[in-house]
Amino acid sequence: MTLFKVLSYGKGFKGQAIWASVCSIVNKLFDIAPEILIGIAIDVVINQEDSFVANLGVVDPKEQLYLLGFLTFLIWAGESIFQYLYMKNWRELAQKIQHRFRVDCYGHIQQMDMRFFEDQSTGRLTSILNDDVNQLERFLNIGANDILQVVTSVVAVGAVFFLISTKLALLAFSPIPVIILGAFYFQRKAEPRYAEVREKAGQIASAINTNIAGVATIKSFTKERHEKKRISAISDEYVMANESAIKISSAFTPVIRMAILTGFLATFIVGGLDTLNGDLAVGAYGVLVFLTQRLLWPFRDLANTMDLYERGMASARRILGLLDEPIHIKDHAQAENIDLSGNIEMEDVTFKYESQTSAALKQINLTIKAGETHAFVGQTGSGKSTVIKLLMRYYHAQQGQVKMDGVLIENINIVSLRSQIGLVSQATFLFNASIFDNIQYGNEQATEAEVLKAAKLAEAHEFIVKLDQGYQTTVGESGVKLSGGQIQRIALARALLKNPPILILDEATSAVDNETEAAIQRSLKKIADGRTIILIAHRLSTVVHADQIHVLENGEFIESGSHETLLKNQGRYHQLWSIQTGGV
């Protein structure tokens, strides 16, 4: 059950949960005590020297009243103190649990396989980490306390009722089964509606996220009105989902109120008649009438609690669903840390993306010796980047083997593998931080001199120092304050700083001008010694110096060799080269 799973997240905070529960219960006991004191006070003014208090030893009615006044003061003070304590403790617990959920969820998302992210919208994930966790926090803040306090009042008030009059106790309790049945009915009706509300909230977040990220495209196509309408339509769906939940939750309180009224009237009239007949003392009658309210009114708040509970559980199910998503690519027990020297082998590797009907790579065989530079060229969609994704172990090949230094890639610890590959991918991502920090991300131990050296090798230093704040310039999310070529050079510097034995550049210099690219090539030559380099480029001038160039077509290597050999072969590479150099 969702609630138990949520509560099991509170393991480790058991002591505080018990203390918070005690505070909730004591507060409730203090809360119902004044009603009993009112009854006793009525008894004092009516029976004076024969009152209940007089029997305890305080005979003077005035003194009895002073005593009751003093007790009332203590009770109110106690109630206030315990209210402070339960609120503080439940809220602190809610904070701890929501924090744990958020951080665990985030950690889990980060570990998910790349294929998981292909079907997910960032908006949905952010809405789970933000909105759903907050929703759950709201329930945890007050929900547990509300439930405990309702139970406490039923037990404590019930005890007083049964002590005074069993008949009236049964009458006062009669609406409770109706209320509980109503609550279950409400819960069953509300559950799917709140699930729908959470789903719609996720869709809104997703649409807004995408649109803000793509605002330049929206503007360039002057689609602002269209997009506003689209967001408005999704927002309308959210409103409609909420309206349907509101209808059912709003009906709950009035229905409960009528049930409460029945119990109250029964005590009021039957108890009154008993008092008139002399079967019930006036003070006791007063206590019962006031206590019926104390017994039944909390059930009215149950509607809000149930509402909060349903919303909270709908959110919890989304959070737990995310946490239950299996991680397919992970280290197995025998995975080792290996110091790679840069030998790479692929044997008969065939790989198909789940969503595709045909394989992206077919029977690929590749041998790269440590220190060599290899390049992959070929038409768009031919499978070049997919080779890299397999080397990074983002995906798992359905057939064949990938080895590094003779060790199966699955037997290498993922952190060890990825930390020894410097990848500059097509989709470069910079963090919303300073340029310095973005480069240093490649190696957090790197000194300032090392960061500058990497930037110089990547031909980035010159443009960085010309910026207003130099290395301290903050780049916007995805580096929007920089040009495409500048972003690529920062990403390259970041990868170089990692000083990896394997460096993979997937269209890493596609956006820089020819002159800068030539300078980067010269830098790369300097650092290529003892390092395996894999290049992917459409611009063939980038790859002419590679030891081996592999031409891919439809997921197959159709030609391999050095630039000169491939030109001599007069095959596909020759054709591509001729097109690019204007020979055709």
Minimum gap (Å) between residue 506 Cβ and ligand ATP: 7
CB-nearer residue toward ligand ATP: 46 or 327: 327
Which residue, 63 or 118, has its beta carbon nearer to ligand ATP? 118
How far is residue 326's CA from residue 334's CA, in Å, rounded to a whole number? 20
Nearest to 401 by CA among 360, 367, 359: 367
Q: How far is the CB of 378 from ligand ATP (least distance, A)?
A: 6
Which one of 118, 243, 336, 348 is in contact with ligand ATP (CB under 6 A)? Answer: 118
Binding mask 414-443 for ligand ATP (x = CB under 6 A): ------------x-----------------
What would the two tokens of residue 505 be? Answer: 């550049």
Report how far Cα 212 is from the mean position of its chain's Cα atoms: 20
Q: In the numeric block, which tokens belong to residue 184?
A: 């279950």
Cβ closest to ligand ATP, residue 111 vs residue 134:
111
Question: Is 267 or 509 the residue whose CB approaches ligand ATP more closely?
Answer: 509
User: Residues 462, 468, 469, 473: is their CA dihedral positive or negative?
Assistant: negative
Stretch that binds ligand ATP, among 326-334, 353-361, 401-409, 542-550 (CB under 6 A): 353-361
Residue 416 or residue 510: which is nearer to ligand ATP going by CB? Answer: 510
Tell me whether residue 1 or residue 427 sits nearer to ligand ATP (CB atom): 427
Which 356-375 positions form the footprint of ligand ATP (CB under 6 A)? 356, 360
- Where does this chain touch ligand ATP (CB under 6 A) — which range of 121-129, 333-341, 351-359, 432-440? 351-359
* Owner of token pair 């203390």: 19
For residue 115, the minimal CB distance to ligand ATP (Å) is 7
For ligand ATP, give the closer residue by CB, 179 or 537.
Answer: 537
Count of residues engaged in binding ligand ATP, rule: CB under 6 A = 14
Query: Residue 559 belongs to what H/E stretch?
Result: strand 556-561
Residue 355 interacts with ligand ATP (CB under 6 A)? yes
How far apart CA 500 and CA 357 sit, in angstroms, is 36
Q: What is the DSSP letter of 468?
A: T
In sequence order, the β-bridge partners of residue 506 are 536
Using CA atoms, how far residue 82 sits from 5, 16, 23, 85, 410, in Å, is 28, 14, 5, 5, 57
Quote the least distance from Cβ 356 to ligand ATP, whole Å: 5
Question: 294: helix, coil or strand?
Answer: helix
State how beta strands 373-378 and 548-553 pair.
Answer: parallel
- Of 141, 203, 292, 385, the one binding ligand ATP (CB under 6 A) is 385
Among positions 76, 353, 394, 441, the unique one binding ligand ATP when judged by CB under 6 A: 353
Helix axes 514-528, 484-497, angle to 10 degrees: 10
| Rounded CA separation 529/520 (Å) | 15
Binds ligand ATP (CB under 6 A): choice among 382, 425, 509, 560: 382
How far does CA 391 lie from the centroid of its chain?
Answer: 29
Query: Burial letters for 406-422: b for 16+ Cβ neighbours within 10 Å, e otherwise?
Result: ebebbebebebbbebbb
Which residue number, 386 or 542, has a Cβ lying nearer to ligand ATP? 386
CB-nearer residue toward ligand ATP: 321 or 381: 381
The binding site for ligand ATP (CB under 6 A) comprises 118, 353, 355-356, 360, 378, 380-386, 426
